């Protein structure tokens, strides 16, 4: 898991100091920011992987919980009195609640670390999904290019052939026309070379894929033979 960014919001300096000290004593790397409710703003939680909400002024507590819970891709752990937990859970079901009592610090840190692992797992899954979608788009484009390759080659062959015919009688054409025809001829040949390289690449990719499948099959057969 990468270095996490943690925001602690509390008006109780002892709470903030205890959480920060306990986190450091656990040996887990994290960038910790501590703010009180009077300087906290709705945008304060943006960019943090985890928000830890401790004792705050009642006037700002609901705003802090609502704004922190609304941040996608992050987790919120809140210390609360046991009598408040049912109402908080009903209003903010995504909150991870810790009862304010004996041993609360250890429970809060353990729950926070688990929450960060989940945040990291979700982020990795989303990144993998984005990469898979990008790969699928590239694969679709590659298949389309392979399907269109014969048509493109035929068109280029026609362009080169007609340019050759025109250049064969170039002595009857104005100089600027000859230059333009020659430019068309040269460009068509270059495009043909590009298509040829693309064909070679497609062949190499098929060979690599076949080798990978064969290697996977040999590995599976080896595993089966050992069982």
**Pair 192, 111 in one domain:** no
What span, in angstroms and rounded, lies between the C-alpha atoms of 158 and 166? 12
pLDDT grade for 53, boundaries at 50, 70 and 90: very high
Could you say which of 78, 99, 126 is where a domain stops? 126
8 Å CB contact between 59 and 15: no
**Pair 25, 73 in one domain:** yes
pLDDT grade for 133, boundaries at 50, 70 and 90: confident
**Pair 138, 117 in one domain:** no
pTM over 0.85: no
**Pair 94, 111 in one domain:** yes
**Pair 158, 58 in one domain:** no
Q: Which of 125, 70, 79 is nearest to 102 (CA)?
A: 79
CATH number at residue 90: 3.40.50.2300
**Pair 209, 152 in one domain:** yes
**Pair 41, 143 in one domain:** no
What span, in angstroms and rounded, lies between the C-alpha atoms of 115 and 67? 18
Domain of 205?
134-226
Note the pLDDT of residue 163: 86
Domain count, the chain: 2
Could you say which of 85, 105, 126 is where a domain stops? 126
**Pair 178, 113 in one domain:** no
Could you say which of 126, 150, 183 is where a domain stops? 126
Note the pLDDT tens digit of each residue in 60-95: 888 888 888 888 778 889 888 888 888 888 888 888
């Amino acid at each position: 898991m990468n270095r996490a960014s943690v925001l602690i919001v509390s008006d109780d300096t002892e709470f903030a100091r205890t959480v920060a000290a306990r986190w450091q004593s656990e040996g887990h790397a994290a960038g910790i920011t501590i703010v009180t409710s009077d300087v906290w703003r709705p945008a304060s939680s943006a960019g943090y992987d985890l928000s830890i909400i401790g004792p705050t002024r009642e006037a700002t507590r609901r705003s802090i919980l609502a704004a922190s819970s609304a941040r996608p891709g992050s987790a919120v752990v809140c210390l609360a009195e046991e009598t408040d937990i049912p109402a908080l859970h009903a209003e903010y079901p995504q909150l991870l609640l810790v009862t304010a009592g004996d041993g609360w610090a250890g429970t809060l840190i353990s729950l926070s670390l688990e929450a960060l692992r989940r945040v990291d797992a979700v982020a990795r899954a989303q990144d993998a999904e984005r990469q898979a979608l990008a790969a699928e788009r590239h694969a679709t484009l590659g298949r389309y290019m392979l399907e269109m390759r014969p048509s493109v080659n035929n068109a280029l062959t026609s362009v080169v052939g007609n340019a050759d015919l025109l250049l064969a009688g170039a002595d009857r054409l104005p100089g600027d026309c000859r230059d333009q025809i020659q430019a068309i001829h040269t460009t068509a040949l270059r495009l043909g070379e590009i298509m040829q390289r693309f064909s070679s690449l497609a062949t190499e990719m098929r060979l690599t894929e076949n080798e990978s499948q064969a290697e996977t099959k040999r590995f599976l057969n080896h595993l089966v033979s050992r069982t």
